[in-house]
């Protein structure tokens, strides 16, 4: 297959970028499930932007820099924050309905780390509203093709094909899951918009599709990655052990509206950890909860918003209220049990402000990328802002600078001597072991010993997985397992490189931040994944 622009992923970054590129180019979107099934869909809180008369850019910039713990790239923060109102207007013009007050001004929420109310939302279904509207617009375009149930396997690069010193991305091999065939897609530009890798952890707020595919493929292709040790654990996911590792996110917006964190005896504790209490940055709140749980031996703590009017809760948090009620919890009457869970990657494929990676013709946008906006810890609701901003910048760069001809011939996928895998248990066993290992050893609080043990165990697992991969025909499960294993290795390697505690990375052997460590952690391909 041939296309001008290939986009891998169908979240807010990929869809908004496609809409802008379709003015001049034919665009193909590859997504491994239905197009709606992206991390964007599950975003409850909203998108942060300066929209109120009592707010200003400098305040949003300052809040972002504070949350980022000294690693934010200030030029990136400045540009994205200042473009916020323009990008919000674009979303509204596409048809996104953000909540408004009676005077038709936006109903702005406040979340942890923000000094003002600046979070635009659509109740507690903001992501679903964004995804639905953008997908509807994409489907209207005759120049955009969506390939659902297609999972990318590997990027095709000139260096791998011709063993030349120069390296550029030429396209991608994808598995059509329903057809069970592998297709070669050739493109002038390839854009990774495939989200994060939350499924590398046992407990996560992410959907099953978040297996780090884009980051792992970029790494294997030779692109530079950065800051993978900074994994954000959302402080509050509903504690439902009967559901297994399926975690329902309880939006930070509840704490923005006055919800309190409490121990089982009903006492509050956040005042002991930060002056902003429940509205402290996410890394601090997650560590505080982890500390209190380990101290008491409890499996969860409580989140309580029952003191607010019942009708307000039902209207403002209709989806959370309804979902909790189905699971046996009434937000309006009682506190609910919550625990932290893996949520968002601040690191990823290193890009410039145009979305370009270190690999020619390869772009990365959204959670897949590391732009420097988030630093060592993401400020709440800056992720959707970054996604639309970087999609905008990447599309402008591509519209201006794309003149290359599509290569006419690339070799088809070569399965070698691979055979059918009749023992799927080999895959599920490794999948479960990786996720539990990462949760226990590379979680909210880390140590040198745990990280070293995790690295040794991952080396053995990787050896097994690579044996499976090269012995058996590829399936979607095997592709995801390979990518999860790659991401686990890279997270551990990045965490071992950082000899301090900063933002989301907390190592009990290096409890303090150091000026000498105030730099990005860079990872490049070593040839073993």
> Are the beta carbons of 211 and 483 closer than 8 angstroms?
yes
| Residue indicated by tokens 């592709």 | 479
CB-neighbour burial class of residue 246 (10 A; exposed 0-12, middle 13-18, buried 19+):
middle
Q: What are phi and psi of 326, to 5 degrees?
A: -60, -30
Rounded Cα gap, residues 465 and 478, in angstroms: 9
Per-residue tokens: 21: 């590129």
Q: What are phi and psi of 233, to 5 degrees?
A: -100, 120
> Are the beta carbons of 505 and 496 closer than 8 angstroms?
no
> Are the beta carbons of 233 and 404 closer than 8 angstroms?
no
Per residue, the 3-state secondary structure of 338-360, as one string, reads: EEEEEEEECCEEECCCCCECCCE
Half-sphere exposure for 513 (CA within 13 Å, toward CB): 12
Q: How would you label 433-442 residue by residue, b for 16+ Cβ within 10 Å and e otherwise?
A: ebbebbbebb
| Residue indicated by tokens 């260096």 | 159
Which residues make beta-bridge pairs with 76?
none
Which residues are CB-contacts of 492 (< 8 A; sequence separation ≥ 6)?
A: 442, 451, 454, 455, 458
Per-residue tokens: 434: 């990786």
Rounded Cα gap, residues 323 and 222, in angstroms: 43
Neighbours of 345 (CB within 10 A): 31
- Look up 282 and say whether it is catalytic: yes
Annotated catalytic residue, options 41, 118, 282, 446? 282
> Are the beta carbons of 11 and 344 closer than 8 angstroms?
no
Q: Which H or E element spans position 489?
A: helix 476-497
The 8-class DSSP code of residue 36 comes to T
Neighbours of 160 (CB within 10 A): 15
The distance of Cα 222 from the centroid of its chain, to the nearest Å, equals 21
Rounded Cα gap, residues 206 and 210, in angstroms: 6
Active-site residues, by number, are 282
């Amino acid at each position: 297959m041939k296309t001008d622009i290939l986009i891998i992923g169908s979240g807010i970054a990929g869809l908004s970028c496609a809409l802008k590129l379709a003015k001049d180019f034919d665009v193909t979107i590859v997504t491994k499930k239905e197009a709606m099934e992206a991390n964007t869909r599950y975003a409850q809180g909203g998108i942060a932007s300066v929209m109120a008369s009592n707010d200003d850019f400098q305040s949003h910039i300052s809040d972002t820099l504070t949350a980022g713990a000294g690693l934010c790239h200030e030029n990136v923060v400045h540009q994205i924050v200042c473009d916020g109102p323009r990008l919000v207007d674009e979303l509204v013009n596409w048809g996104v309905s953000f909540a408004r007050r009676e005077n038709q001004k936006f109903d702005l929420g406040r979340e942890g780390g923000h000094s003002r109310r600046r979070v635009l939302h659509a109740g507690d279904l903001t992501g679903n509203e964004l995804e639905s509207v953008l997908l509807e617009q994409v489907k209207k375009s005759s120049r955009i093709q969506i390939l659902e149930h297609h999972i990318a396997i590997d990027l095709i690069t000139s260096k791998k094909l011709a063993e030349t010193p120069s390296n550029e991305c030429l396209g991608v091999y994808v598995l059509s899951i329903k057809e069970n065939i592998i297709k070669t897609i050739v493109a002038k530009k390839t854009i990774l918009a495939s989200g994060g890798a939350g499924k590398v952890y046992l407990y996560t707020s992410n959907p099953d599709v978040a297996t780090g595919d884009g980051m792992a493929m970029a790494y294997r292709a030779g692109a530079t990655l950065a800051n993978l040790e900074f994994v954000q654990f959302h402080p509050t996911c509903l504690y439902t052990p009967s559901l297994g590792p399926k975690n329902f996110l309880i939006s930070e917006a509840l704490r923005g509206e006055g919800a309190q964190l409490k121990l089982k005896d009903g006492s509050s504790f956040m005042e002991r950890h930060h002056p902003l209490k429940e509205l402290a940055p996410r890394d601090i709140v997650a560590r505080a909860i982890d500390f209190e749980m380990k101290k008491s031996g409890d499996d969860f703590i409580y989140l309580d918003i029952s003191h607010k009017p019942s009708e307000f809760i039902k209207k403002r948090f209709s989806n959370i209220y309804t979902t909790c009620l189905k699971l046996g919890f009434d937000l309006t009457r009682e506190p609910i049990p919550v625990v932290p869970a893996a949520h968002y990657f601040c690191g990823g494929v290193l890009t410039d402000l145009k979305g370009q990676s270190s690999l020619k013709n390869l772009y990365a946008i959204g959670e897949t990328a590391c732009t420097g906006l988030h630093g060592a810890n993401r400020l709440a609701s800056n992720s959707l802002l970054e996604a639309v901003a970087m999609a905008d910048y990447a599309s402008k760069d591509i519209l201006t600078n794309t003149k290359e001809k599509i290569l006419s011939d690339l070799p088809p996928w070569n399965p070698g001597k691979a055979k059918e895998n009749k023992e799927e248990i080999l895959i599920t066993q490794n999948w479960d072991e990786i996720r539990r290992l990462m949760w226990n050893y590379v979680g909210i609080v880390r140590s040198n010993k745990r990280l070293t043990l995790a690295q040794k165990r991952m080396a053995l697992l990787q050896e097994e997985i690579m044996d499976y991969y090269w012995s058996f025909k590829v399936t979607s499960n095997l592709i995801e397992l390979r990518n999860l294993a790659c991401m686990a290795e890279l997270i551990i390697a990045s965490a071992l490189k950082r000899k301090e505690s900063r933002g989301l990375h907390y190592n009990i052997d290096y409890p303090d931040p150091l000026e000498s460590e105030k730099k990005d952690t860079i990872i490049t391909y070593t040839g073993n994944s």
